[in-house]
């Protein structure tokens, strides 16, 4: 028997498209088609994370909703696996496919701002950084995550936890409406009145329900912020006190603290390179600079800062320029926990010291505020009362090394687990169905599976953190 090519789920691949099918398809779409023999194919198949060296049969850089419907029809009729790519940052490599079709949204970047009405319609090929730069020109913002190159497609559908989470909630809390092309190729406008079930599901249920072509977001006045990077020595007391201060801080302040080995960056003194430090990002998004200075002062006072770059700045400066050629390989685990006291901090430091990965990190995001006031059943993101999101990660360079790094993150995550645990779908890797289920309480999962059955009964959108359609009773 010859080799049977398999897709990412280990299923045998459908037959490749024949020339006539590709020609017929290409005559119907406006967007560019890229096949393995084409110039630009390698660049087009590259995703943010290294380690996903997959060769799609066809990449389509769609231009409009009709293109999207046509790509969906091609996937449906051919049986080929369909990957949907917005910003390409899937931690699980879901925006590329071996032998399937990539629906690449990166050329759909239209943004319509209603400055007076404080809303924006944004096509899903935009990145968080591009959207933020455009809205900041009017002193306005919608909250996304900590990285500008992340696509608004993936982050929004997962929930969206970032620098405005305590002040303005998750990204989905600012989602007013969306346009979605479903598995049957139909373009639906979804909001609180129209297809409310689907509107509920896409606010945390990921890419399971269709291709989101546009989102309508609420905009907030976010102009000058006080924030930036603060690097502190990593001791159990400083870590625990950092968390206490972050919980006690005004809601205008959101923090992301990375306990990690200090990289050899020029702004860090040579003697701390490779040492464990707290590399924290702070954003105070309130009206008064003085109030922001007061809010960040307790963090500066936790220990003699190694680096203190906290300052008044324009909001988009929080997304510094990125290197397009940076494609890290990493394994990570995500969870929610309730407490980080000095015992837990001690565990964090011990586990980090026990690894020899050149780059390893425990990331602490204190939640609460506006995000926590939304009822758990209001959106498919249900972890509203979770107090802290915790992510642990190790970078690796070779596949041999990967297994050891994976064992380390698993042990680390187990050591930190408190109660139910849970998971943020946006940070899940390829970790199996049980972990996808951990992203949703049972009632949320059941409701999502039922909505999936109605909108995607054949599970066409399966290359994602998959919620299989409920079986009809």
Ligand X SMILES: Cc1cc2nc3c(=O)[nH]c(=O)nc-3n(C[C@H](O)[C@H](O)[C@H](O)COP(=O)(O)OP(=O)(O)OC[C@H]3O[C@@H](n4cnc5c(N)ncnc54)[C@H](O)[C@@H]3O)c2cc1C
Residues of this chain that interact with ligand X (CB under 6 A) are 48, 84-91, 94-95, 105, 124, 145-147, 150-151, 153-155, 157-162, 206-207, 211-212, 426-427, 464
Q: Please state the closest distance from residue 249 (CB atom) to ligand X, in A.
A: 18
**Based on CB atoms, which residue is closest to ligand X, 213 or 241?**
213
Shortest separation between residue 137's beta carbon and ligand X, angstroms: 23
User: CA quadruple 152, 258, 330, 442: dihedral positive or negative?
Assistant: negative
> Residue 49, CB half-sphere, CA atoms under 13 Å: how many?
20
CB of 104 to ligand X, least distance (A): 9
The label of the residue with tokens 């690097």 reads 231
Toward ligand X, which CB reaches closer, 153 or 286?
A: 153
Nearer to ligand X (CB atom), residue 302 or residue 318: 318
| DSSP β-ladder status, 140-141 and 220-221 | antiparallel
Cβ proximity to ligand X: between 22 and 229 the closer is 229
**CA-to-CA distance for 316 and 137, rounded, in angstroms?**
10
* Runs of H (alpha helix) within 354-393: 370-373
Closest to ligand X by CB, 445 or 461? 461
Neighbour count for residue 274 (Cβ, 10 Å)? 12
For the CB of residue 48, give the shortest distance to ligand X in the complex, in Å: 5
Rounded to an integer, what distance in angstroms lies between the CA atom of residue 103 and that of residue 98?
13
CA-CA-CA-CA torsion sign (55, 57, 63, 65):
negative
Token digits for 327?
Answer: 């494609």
CB of 218 to ligand X, least distance (A): 17
Closest by CA to 201, choosing from 472, 470, 467, is: 467
Name the residue whose CB lies closest to ligand X: 154
Q: Find the shortest distance in angstroms from Cβ 320 to ligand X.
A: 13
Tokens 């993101």 belong to residue? 381
Q: In the complex with ligand X, which residue's Cβ is closer, 306 or 380?
A: 380
Least distance CB 365 / ligand X (angstroms): 8
Which CB sits closer to ligand X, 207 or 292?
Answer: 207
Bridge pairing between strands 82-85 and 101-104: parallel
Closer residue to ligand X in complex, CB, 157/448: 157
CB 71 within 8 A of CB 60: yes
DSSP 8-state code for residue 286: S
Dihedral sign for Cα 64, 50, 317, 168, please.
positive
CB of 322 to ligand X, least distance (A): 9
CB 140 within 8 A of CB 222: yes
């Amino acid at each position: 028997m010859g080799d049977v090519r398999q897709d990412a789920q280990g299923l045998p691949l459908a037959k490749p498209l024949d020339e006539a099918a590709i020609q017929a398809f290409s005559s119907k779409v406006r967007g560019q088609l890229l096949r393995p023999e084409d110039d630009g194919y390698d660049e087009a198949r590259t995703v943010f994370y290294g380690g996903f060296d997959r060769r799609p049969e066809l990449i389509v850089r769609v231009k409009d909703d009709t293109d999207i419907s046509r790509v969906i029809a091609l996937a449906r009729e051919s049986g080929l696996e369909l990957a949907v790519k917005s910003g390409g940052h899937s931690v699980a490599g879901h925006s590329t496919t071996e032998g399937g079709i990539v629906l690449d949204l990166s050329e759909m970047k239209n943004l319509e701002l209603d400055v007076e009405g404080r809303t924006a319609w944004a096509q899903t090929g935009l990145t968080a950084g591009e959207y933020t730069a455009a809205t900041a020109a009017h002193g306005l913002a919608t909250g996304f995550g900590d990285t500008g190159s992340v696509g608004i497609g993936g982050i929004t559908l997962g929930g969206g936890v970032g620098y405005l989470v305590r002040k303005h909630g998750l990204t989905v809390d600012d989602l007013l409406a969306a346009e979605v092309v479903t598995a049957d190729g139909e373009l639906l406008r979804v909001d609180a009145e129209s297809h409310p079930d689907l509107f509920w599901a896409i606010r945390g249920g990921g890419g399971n329900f269709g291709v989101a072509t546009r989102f309508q977001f609420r905009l907030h006045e976010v102009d000058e912020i006080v924030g930036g990077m603060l690097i502190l020595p990593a001791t159990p007391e400083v870590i625990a006190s950092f968390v206490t201060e972050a919980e006690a801080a005004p809601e205008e302040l959101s923090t992301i603290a990375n306990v990690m080995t200090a990289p050899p960056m020029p702004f860090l003194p040579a003697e701390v390179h490779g040492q464990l430090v707290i590399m924290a990002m702070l954003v105070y998004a309130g009206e008064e600079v003085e109030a922001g200075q007061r809010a960040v002062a307790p963090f500066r006072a936790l220990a003699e800062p190694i680096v203190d770059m906290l300052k008044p700045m324009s909001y988009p400066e929080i997304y510094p320029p990125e290197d397009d050629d940076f494609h890290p390989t990493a394994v990570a685990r995500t969870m929610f926990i309730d407490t980080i006291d000095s015992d837990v901090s001690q565990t964090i430091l011990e586990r980090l010291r026990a690894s020899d990965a050149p780059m390893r990190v425990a990331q602490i995001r204190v939640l609460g505020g506006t995000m926590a006031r939304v009822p758990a059943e209001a959106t498919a993101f249900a972890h509203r009362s979770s107090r802290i999101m915790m992510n642990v990660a190790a970078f690796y360079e070779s596949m041999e090394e990967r297994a050891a790094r994976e064992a380390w993150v698993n042990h680390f995550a187990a050591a930190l687990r408190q109660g139910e645990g849970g998971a943020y779908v946006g940070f899940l890797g390829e970790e199996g169905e049980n972990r996808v289920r951990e992203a949703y309480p049972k009632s949320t999962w059941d409701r999502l599976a039922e909505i999936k059955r109605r909108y995607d009964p054949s599970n066409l959108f399966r290359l994602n953190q998959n919620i299989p359609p409920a079986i009809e009773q």
